[in-house]
Amino acid sequence: MKTKVYFKTFGCRTNIFDSQVMMERLEDFDITDDEQAADIVIVNSCTVTNGADSGVRGYVSAQQKHGKTVMLTGCGAHTKGQSLFEAGKVQGVFGQSEKSKINDLLKRTSRFYELGDLDFIDNSVVENFIGKSRAFIKIQEGCSFRCSYCIIPFVRGDARSIDESVILEQVYRLAGNGFGEFILTGTNIGSYGQGERRNIASLMKKMSMIRGVRRIRLGSLEPVQITEEFLEVLKEPWLERHLHIALQHTSKAMLKLMNRRNKFEEDLKLFTMLSEKGFALGTDFIVG
Identify the CATH number of the domain in which residue 72 sits: 3.40.50.12160
Residue 278 lies in a domain: yes
Task: Examine the pLDDT at 51 and tell me if it is beyond 90.
Answer: no
Q: Are 160 and 140 in contact (CB under 8 A)?
A: yes
In a domain, 128, yes or no: no
> Which of 114, 144, 179 marks a domain boundary?
114
The DSSP bridge pattern shows strands 92-94 and 69-74 to be: parallel
Angle ∠(94,97,98) on CA atoms, nearest 5: 45
Q: What are phi and psi of 55, to 5 degrees?
A: -65, -40
pLDDT over 90 for what percent of the chain?
88
Considering the domain architecture, whether residues 255 and 163 belong to the same structural domain is answered as: yes
Nearest to 219 by CA among 120, 100, 106, 138: 138
Interstrand relation of 280-282 and 242-244 (parallel, antiparallel or unpaired): parallel
Closest C-alpha among 254, 246, 252 to residue 285? 246
User: The domain spanning residue 171 has which CATH number?
Assistant: 3.80.30.20
Together in a domain, 99 and 146? no
How far is it, in rounded angstroms, from Cα 193 to Cα 200? 7
Asked which of 85, 114, 143 is the last residue of a domain, the reply is 114
Residue 124 within any structural domain of the chain = no
**Model confidence pLDDT, tens digit, residues 220-269:** 999 999 999 999 999 999 999 999 999 999 999 999 999 999 999 999 99
For residue 245, what are the domain limits? Answer: 135-282
Among the three residues 114, 147, 171, which one is the final residue of a domain in this structure? 114
Which contacts (CB < 8 Å, 24+ apart) does range 199-206 have? 199/227, 199/229, 199/230, 200/139, 200/225, 200/230, 201/227, 201/229, 201/230, 201/232, 201/233, 202/229, 203/139, 203/164, 203/167, 204/233, 204/236, 204/239, 205/233, 205/236, 206/164, 206/168
Clarify whether residues 175 and 79 are in a common domain.
Answer: no
Cβ 90 vs Cβ 70: under 8 Å: yes
Q: Where residue 24 falls among pLDDT bands split at 50, 70, 90?
A: very high
Question: Based on the domain organization, do 104 and 151 belong to the same domain?
Answer: no
What mean pLDDT value characterizes the chain?
94
Q: Residue 31 in contact with residue 130, Cβ under 8 Å?
A: yes
Q: How many residues does the chain have?
A: 288
| Tens-place pLDDT, residues 116-157 | 999 988 888 888 888 889 999 999 999 999 999 999 999 999
Are 147 and 46 part of one and the same domain? no
Of residues 17, 67, 18, 74, the one with CA closest to residue 44: 74
Check whether residue 83 and residue 155 sit in a common domain: no
140 and 102 in a common domain:
no
Same domain? 90 vs 168: no
The enclosing H or E element of 204 equals: helix 200-208
- pLDDT of 288 strictly over 80: no
Give the chain's domain count. 2
Could you tell me what percent of the chain has a pLDDT over 70? 100
Picking from 182, 271, 258, 257, the residue whose alpha carbon sits closest to that of residue 226 is: 271
Q: In this structure, is residue 120 part of a structural domain?
A: no
Do residues 130 and 23 make contact, with C-beta atoms less than 8 angstroms apart? yes
User: Would you state the pLDDT for residue 89?
Assistant: 95
Question: Does 43 share its domain with 89?
Answer: yes
